[in-house]
Amino acid sequence: MFDRRVLFGIILIAFAAAFYKAANVPAVAAFQYRPAVVANVAAARFDSRFASSRFQTQVHAASLIELKDRSLRGFWFSGSREGAADVTINSALFDPVTGEWGAEQSIASRDSTQQGLHRYIGKVGNPVPMRAADGRLWLFYVTVSLGGWAGSSITAITSTDEGVTWSEPRRLISSPFMNISTLVKAAPFLYADGTIGLPVYHEFISKFAEILRLDQSGKVIDKQRLAAGGQGTLQPVVLVRSAQQALVLTRYSGNESPHRAKMMTTVDGGAHWSAAVQSPLSNPDAALAALVLADGRLLAVLNDQQSGRDNLALMLSADGGVSWRRVAVLENETATSVQDEAACLSRVAALVKQSDARAGVSAVSLERYVDSAKAKVRAGDACSFEFSYPYLMQASGGDFHLLYTWNRVFIKHLSFNQAWLEQQETQP
Amino acid sequence: MMALSDIVGLSGMAFALAVLIVPLVAARVTGRAVLLYIVVCMLLALSPFDGLSVAGYLRGFFGDLSVASLLLLVLALRRQVSGAEAEGRMGLLALIALAALAFYPFALGIGLFDPYRLGFGHFGFLAALLLVALLAWMRQQVLIALYIALAVLAWAIGWGESNNLWDYLLDPWVAFYALGALLKRSVRLLRGAPVSAR
């Protein structure tokens, strides 16, 4: 059928090209470590407001990034329900000077992604932004063609104008078997050579956390499994503490009791990771957020409970994650046991006013908020609250910004500074 | 302007659809006429319908095909055109089945070692593949040598979306097919039924 010499020629050419490509794969690199800013503002500041601006919609999976002009750009998904075909990735701008969020806009949809990828797309979700070494803004998000979230793959779009317009989407191929089941949640980090570390997780058949390494054009060049399948480690958060050291905290969705977040460490720039061990942090199978402070201590936001997501707490660790203490309770409706509809909605109204001063101003406005929240909070005739999927960030001026899902109907934004944090630490 | 990987992915899916459908709708056609049916079928599969072509829908569900799949489809087409059976096809299927069994369980989560990682340009893995290709070439196992060489070349050029060699070597469909074919053959062997040497 085939001339042997021609075949030999093909083999030679193929492998010559392959070895050349392999030789050009970036070598293992240490982390890029930039210590956080230490602010010197004496007055404690703590503000709360809603970031999302649409009513009668479901929102989830918020994330945030600082722009070059110090404003913030938030992302989340919004639609009739999680996983619906009408869900879009939305974005809005926050002006730290005025303390106000602009109206949200859809920047990616099932349809736009399908057109750009030339393949069928069923739903989109989980946006995560990143600033690349060349200054471009990247947005990673999850797309599903078949099945539930376990059938996800990661898609990326880029922007050269700080998120006003975005490029055509392009998929990250990170898994064999139809490239399914890689998802993002937490912020990416950079290696010293400008390549990107994207914390991801796998959910099909087996659950485990991974790190993808991408080159500067977004191609996947390596992948590291952080825990063996079956250990229930999801949604890893990578905390870079120096050029060589990092800690990963993950959500735990296994059967061990008590339910605790898992953690792994590296001391060689991520070349090798320790085995996953239990951290002292409670984890009711929910996402958590964390970052490294200027002084090296760790700050985390999570549901500090064994089940449910109606408590959201701020935790601090001074020993690299070995021990943690709670410094503030941001939300706590665990004790709320109200069955009566009127009493429940009254509680919702109180929480709305507490969350956003402007929302409670006019009676009409307040009613719109409560009405939006009603479907979720009053589901099953109960009165249950959810504060989940936190995303924590420290801006270049030193202020902290936290976005999280407020009962699945609004994205709530808390901002506070170092002085406020210190104040919380000294309180019993 | 469509990316190369989209052109390759869509055409590959259209080709697969055509090769699988044509024997059903034109079973008695042989020779060059088959190619005409294939081209027509591919054009239909690539035509946009409500924003997306049939090939585009299939791509979303099945993902893009590996070189293994494409090679077997070409052999199937050749069989319909000229009636010629490819020599060494069973050997190729056996290799694919073995690779799939060794690869998928670990790549999908068993244990800590992820063989998928080797496909990003691991020198040892490439050297091992070169060895297998050369051995196959020396032993006149043309199909196996061609399969490895073409998969490696496709990865080196980067004609697909994936930057991982495994996605050019395997896909779940060819793995299922190869395992199924081997199982069928094993059952027939055990029953003592006549089995061709191919």
Identify from B152, B155, B171 which residue to disrupt to test chain A contact, counting A C-beta atoms within 10 A and taking the largest count.
B152
Residue B101 has pLDDT above 70, yes or no: yes
Give residue-wise pLDDT tens across range B125-181.
999 999 999 999 999 999 999 999 999 999 999 999 999 999 999 999 999 999 999
How far is A193 from A271, CA to CA, in rounded Å? 14
A chain contacts of residue B160, beta-carbon cutoff 8 Å: 173
Average pLDDT of chain A? 93
- Intra-chain end-to-end CA distance of chain B, in Å: 44
Give residue-wise pLDDT tens across range B34-57.
999 999 999 999 999 888 999 999
Taking CB atoms within 8 Å and a gap of at least 24, the contacts of B72-78 are B72/B174, B72/B177, B73/B15, B73/B16, B73/B19, B73/B20, B75/B143, B76/B19, B77/B19, B77/B34, B77/B38
Handedness of CA A227, A233, A238, A242 (dihedral sign): negative
> Would you call A115 and B51 a contact, using CB atoms and an 8 Å cutoff?
yes
Give the list of residues 6+ apart from residue A143 with CB closer than 8 angstroms, or none: A113, A117, A121, A123, A124, A152, A153, A154, A155, A171
Average pLDDT of the segment spanning A383-406: 95
How far is A248 from A232, CA to CA, in rounded Å? 14
Out of B56, B104, B152, the one facing A15 most closely (by C-beta) is B152
B chain contacts of residue A225, beta-carbon cutoff 8 Å: 112-114
> Would you call A13 and B153 a contact, using CB atoms and an 8 Å cutoff?
yes
State whether residue B57 sits within 8 Å of chain A by CB. Answer: yes
State whether residue B170 sits within 8 Å of chain A by CB. Answer: yes
Percent of chain B with pLDDT over 90: 73
State whether residue B51 sits within 8 Å of chain A by CB. Answer: yes
Identify from A6, A119, A178 which residue to disrupt to test chain B contact, counting B C-beta atoms within 10 A and taking the largest count.
A119
Task: Give the amino acid at B65.
Answer: L
Residue A1 has pLDDT above 60, yes or no: no
Whole-number pLDDT of residue A152? 86
Q: Please, are residues A12 and B148 in contact by the beta-carbon 8 Å criterion?
A: no
Percent of chain A with pLDDT over 90: 80
Q: Closest chain B residue to A179 measured between Cα atoms?
A: B63
Place of tokens 């021990």: A323
Helix axis angle, B172-190 to B67-82, nearest 10°: 60
Residue A97: exposure state from Cβ atoms within 10 A (0-12, 13-18, ≥19):
exposed
Residue B155 has which token pair? 């990865």
> Would you call B51 and A14 a contact, using CB atoms and an 8 Å cutoff?
no
Give residue-wise pLDDT tens across range A193-246.
999 999 999 988 889 999 999 998 899 999 999 998 889 999 999 999 999 999
Residue A152 CA from chain centroid, whole number = 16
Whole-number pLDDT of residue A337? 79
State whether residue B81 sits within 8 Å of chain A by CB. Answer: no
Whole-number pLDDT of residue A2? 67
Task: Give the amino acid at A380.
Answer: G
Give residue-wise pLDDT tens across range A343-389.
999 999 999 999 998 887 777 789 999 999 998 998 888 899 999 99
Residue B18 has pLDDT above 60, yes or no: yes
Give residue-wise pLDDT tens across range A254-303.
999 899 999 999 999 999 999 999 999 999 999 999 999 999 999 999 99
Residue A317: exposure state from Cβ atoms within 10 A (0-12, 13-18, ≥19):
buried
Task: Name the residue among B10, B20, B33 with its Cα closest to residue B74.
Answer: B20
- Its ipTM equals 0.93
Out of B57, B117, B149, the one facing A11 most closely (by C-beta) is B149
Helix axis angle, A341-355 to A363-377, nearest 10°: 120
Q: How confident is the model at residue B197 (pLDDT cuts 50, 70, 90)?
A: low
Average pLDDT of the segment spanning B11-22: 94
Within a 13 Å sphere around the CA of A264, how many CA atoms are in the beta-carbon half? 30
Whole-number pLDDT of residue A83? 83
A chain contacts of residue B51, beta-carbon cutoff 8 Å: 111, 114-115
A chain contacts of residue B54, beta-carbon cutoff 8 Å: none
pTM score above 0.90: yes
Whole-number pLDDT of residue A138? 97
B chain contacts of residue A14, beta-carbon cutoff 8 Å: 149-150, 152-153, 156
Whole-number pLDDT of residue A203? 86
Give residue-wise pLDDT tens across range A78-117.
999 888 889 999 999 999 999 999 999 999 999 999 999 9
Compute the radius of gyration of chain B from its Cα atoms.
Answer: 18
B chain contacts of residue A114, beta-carbon cutoff 8 Å: 51-52, 56, 60
Whole-number pLDDT of residue B77? 92
Place of tokens 């077997």: B72
Identify from A10, A117, A118, A207 which residue to disrupt to test chain B contact, counting B C-beta atoms within 10 A and taking the largest count.
A118
B192 vs chain A: nearest CA distance in angstroms?
31
> Would you call A121 and B60 a contact, using CB atoms and an 8 Å cutoff?
yes
Whole-number pLDDT of residue A191? 95
How far is B116 from B163, CA to CA, in rounded Å? 11
Residue B181 CA from chain centroid, whole number = 14
Beta bridge partners of B40: none
Average pLDDT of chain B? 92
Out of B108, B113, B152, the one facing A14 most closely (by C-beta) is B152
Q: Please, are residues A188 and A197 in contact by the beta-carbon 8 Å criterion?
A: yes
A chain contacts of residue B63, beta-carbon cutoff 8 Å: 178-179
- DSSP secondary structure letter of residue A145: S
- DSSP secondary structure letter of residue B35: H
Whole-number pLDDT of residue B106? 93
Residue A78 CA from chain centroid, whole number = 15
Average pLDDT of the segment spanning B90-109: 94
Give residue-wise pLDDT tens across range A289-311.
999 999 999 999 999 999 999 99
Q: Please, are residues A345 and A356 in contact by the beta-carbon 8 Å criterion?
A: no
Beta bridge partners of A316: A299, A325
Whole-number pLDDT of residue B61? 87
Number of A to B CB contacts under 8 A, please give it.
161
Residue B109 has pLDDT above 90, yes or no: no
